[in-house]
Structure 1
Amino acid sequence: MEPLDILDRALTPTGLPDSPQLLVGTALALALLLVVPGAVWRLTGIVVTIVHELGHGCAGLLTGRRAVAIRLSPDHSGLTTSHGRAASVPWTTFWGYPAPALLGAALVMSGLAGRGATALLVCAAVLAVSLVFMRGILAWLAVPLTAAVLLGLLGFAPDPWLTSAAVGLGVFLVCGAVRALANLTRLHARGRTHGSDAAILARETRVPGAVWLTLMWLVVLACAAGSGWMLRVAVGV
């Protein structure tokens, strides 16, 4: 399929599958399958890490930070560096863990509103542009591969699949955000806080890390609740 054909398809509204219940059930089942088993999460969690680090990067760019560089590690850790005013560090640091949940909720909303194809194209475009900021072999492999999968769906998947893909990816990101933040919370409960986002926020603001964790949880759970409400409305419950 030609690029213009993909663009045209992305701008065309897509309807829900004949059975919204099947869509929602499949999305939830696949999300849990991709997030809960540890062996699977070691691979799929990289996608959540990409969005996490892009959350830092985008928040930094919004506050005028520059020279953004993003690195990914196989253990799901990552590092986003940038230069700018010290006052922008807390803002930039905070949005890593909430970013996957926010994007996930946006994808669920877009898919259910008939704009799943548009949302997938926007995600692919953002990933392509983000290569400018990526550093390291894992980032250079994982980011283009993820973008290629999204473009492949736009090029070859039937319309109902595009809606399902957007909703499914959204649910996966929301569930992934919950797991990632739960992992961070466990580390803080064990006193292993060095270098975490909450620990950095505590050092920069003198506000305890537990407060920052609570704020992150509020955003993530709000996104999860909003996504769940939208899915319930879609199936008429």
Structure 2
Amino acid sequence: MEPLDILDRALTPTGLPDSPQLLVGTALALALLLVVPGAVWRLTGIVVTIVHELGHGFAGLLTGRRAVAIRLSPDHSGLTTSHGRAASVPWTTFWGYPAPALIGAALVMSGLAGRGATALLVCAAVLAVSLVFMRGILAWLAVPLTAAVLLGLLGFAPDPWLTSAAVGLGVFLVCGAVRALANLTRLHARGRTHGSDAAILARATRVPGGVWLTLMWLLALACAAGSGWMLWRAVTG
């Protein structure tokens, strides 16, 4: 399919499948399959890390930070560096963990509103643009591969699949955000806090890391609850 055909398709509403129950069931099953099994999560969790680090990166750009550079590690850790005012550090640091949940909820909403194809194209475009910030082999491999999968869906998948893909990706990101936050919370419970986002926020603001963790959890759970409500409404009509 030609690029203009993909663009035209992405801008055309896709609508919901004839069976919303099947859509929701497929999205939930896909998310659980990608998040719960440890062997699968070792691979798919990289996607959540990409969104996490882009959350830092774009939050930094909004506050005027520059020279943004993002590195990814196979253990799902990442590092986003940038230069700018010290006052912008808390804002930039905070938005890593909430980013996957927020983007996930937006994908669920877009898919259920008939704009799943548009949402997938936007995600692919953001990933393509973000390549200028990526450093290291893993980032240079994972980001283009993720964008290519999204473009492949837009080019070859039937319309109902695009809606299912957008909703499924959204649920996956929300669930992945919750799992990542649970891992962070366990580290803090064991006292292994050095270098975590919450610890950096605590040092930068003198507000305890537990407060920042709580705020991150509230945002993630709000996104999860909102996504669940939208899926329930789709099923019950």
SS where residue 131 of structure 1 aligns? helix
CA RMSD of superposed structures (Å) = 0.6
Match of 2:150 in 1: 150
CA distance in 1, matches of 2:144, 2:99: 19
TM-score under structure 1 normalisation? 0.99
Superposition deviation, residue 128 in structure 1:
0.2
Superposition deviation, residue 15 in structure 1:
1.1
SS where residue 207 of structure 1 aligns? coil
Q: Deviations over 1:1-37 (max 9, x none)?
A: 0000000000000011111001101111110111011
CA distance in 1, matches of 2:93, 2:203: 12
Residues 1:37 and 2:37 are matched in the alignment = yes
Superposition deviation, residue 57 in structure 1:
0.2
CA distance in 2, matches of 1:61, 1:195: 22
Residues 1:60 and 2:57 are matched in the alignment = no
Structure 2: runs of 5 or more not aligned: none
Judge which range, 148-157 or 31-40, deviates more: 31-40
CA distance in 1, matches of 2:126, 2:155: 18
Match of 2:18 in 1: 18
Overall identity of the aligned pairs, in %: 96
CA distance in 1, matches of 2:178, 2:145: 24
Judge which range, 220-229 or 25-34, deviates more: 25-34
Q: Deviations over 1:106-151 (max 9, x none)?
A: 0000000000000000000000000000000000000000000000
CA distance in 2, matches of 1:30, 1:13: 23
Match of 1:50 in 2: 50
CA distance in 2, matches of 1:8, 1:150: 15
SS where residue 207 of structure 2 aligns? coil
CA distance in 1, matches of 2:33, 2:123: 22
Q: Deviations over 1:12-68 (max 9, x none)?
A: 000111110011011111101110111110000000000000000000000000000
Residues 1:122 and 2:122 are matched in the alignment = yes
CA distance in 2, matches of 1:21, 1:8: 28
Judge which range, 30-39 or 42-51, deviates more: 30-39
Q: Deviations over 1:56-82 (max 9, x none)?
A: 000000000000000000000000000
Superposition deviation, residue 230 in structure 1:
0.3
CA distance in 1, matches of 2:7, 2:25: 29
CA distance in 1, matches of 2:87, 2:226: 31
Judge which range, 25-34 or 45-54, deviates more: 25-34
Match of 1:92 in 2: 92
Match of 1:169 in 2: 169
CA distance in 1, matches of 2:205, 2:9: 47
CA distance in 1, matches of 2:34, 2:8: 31
Match of 1:190 in 2: 190
Structure 1: runs of 5 or more not aligned: none
CA distance in 1, matches of 2:143, 2:121: 14
CA distance in 2, matches of 1:152, 1:60: 31
CA distance in 1, matches of 2:33, 2:145: 20
CA distance in 1, matches of 2:54, 2:201: 18
SS where residue 80 of structure 2 aligns? strand
Superposition deviation, residue 189 in structure 1:
0.2
Q: Deviations over 1:206-234 (max 9, x none)?
A: 00000000000000000000000000000
Aligned length: 237
Residues 1:104 and 2:130 are matched in the alignment = no
SS where residue 68 of structure 1 aligns? strand
Q: Deviations over 1:139-176 (max 9, x none)?
A: 00000000000000000000000000000000000000
